[in-house]
Amino acid sequence: MVALSGEIKEIFTKTKVMPMATASKSGVPNVAPMASIQLVADDTVWIMDNYMQKTLENLKENPVVALYFYDQGTKRCFQIKGSTEVRTSGPDYEKFRDQVRTKGHHYPAKSLIIIRITDVFECTPGKEAGKKVL
């Protein structure tokens, strides 16, 4: 099990929008900004699908994703990779749906993307860039 360090969690939490990369079964890539995102455990991220099209199609074919997050102040950045599960019902979906909808009823909150973190990589420029840290 991957357990994010305090520094990584802090940078993750400070980041408001994160690019998420997916790929189709045949390897066609897609990157989309994620804003309805929450770290719910040391190894679990929730993302609400409000407007996903290509991303959701890719997740159905290939559940592996990568997220990138960056702290402007410290210039530190990390990439996490993981495997996803898509839920459209159940208590976790309903809890996050209700939370997202408090921001405005224009968010459709169609499905919950659960990411189980498998790897964490350093992205900060320098000799450690690209190094697996967890």
Residue 93 is given by DSSP the state: H
User: What's the average model confidence in pLDDT over 26-55?
Assistant: 96
Residue 1 is given by DSSP the state: -
Q: 98 lies in a domain?
A: yes
pTM: 0.93
Give the pLDDT confidence score for residue 79 in this predicted structure: 97
Spatial distance between the Cα atoms of 106 and 32, rounded to a whole number of angstroms: 19
Q: 1 lies in a domain?
A: no
Give 14's pLDDT tier (boundaries 50, 70, 90): very high
Q: 130 lies in a domain?
A: no
Q: 128 lies in a domain?
A: no
User: What's the average model confidence in pLDDT over 12-19?
Assistant: 95
* Bridge partners for 11 per DSSP: none
Q: 32 lies in a domain?
A: yes
Count of domains forming the chain: 1
Residue 50 CA: distances (Å) to CA of 65, 69, 104, 131, 133: 17, 20, 12, 33, 31
CATH of the domain at 55: 2.30.110.10
Spatial distance between the Cα atoms of 125 and 24, rounded to a whole number of angstroms: 29
Q: 127 lies in a domain?
A: no
What 3-state class would DSSP assign to 66? strand
Domain with 62 in it: 6-122
User: What's the average model confidence in pLDDT over 57-67?
Assistant: 97
Q: 133 lies in a domain?
A: no
Give the pLDDT confidence score for residue 105 in this predicted structure: 79
Give the pLDDT confidence score for residue 1 in this predicted structure: 66
Q: 131 lies in a domain?
A: no
User: What's the average model confidence in pLDDT over 61-87?
Assistant: 96
Spatial distance between the Cα atoms of 70 and 53, rounded to a whole number of angstroms: 25
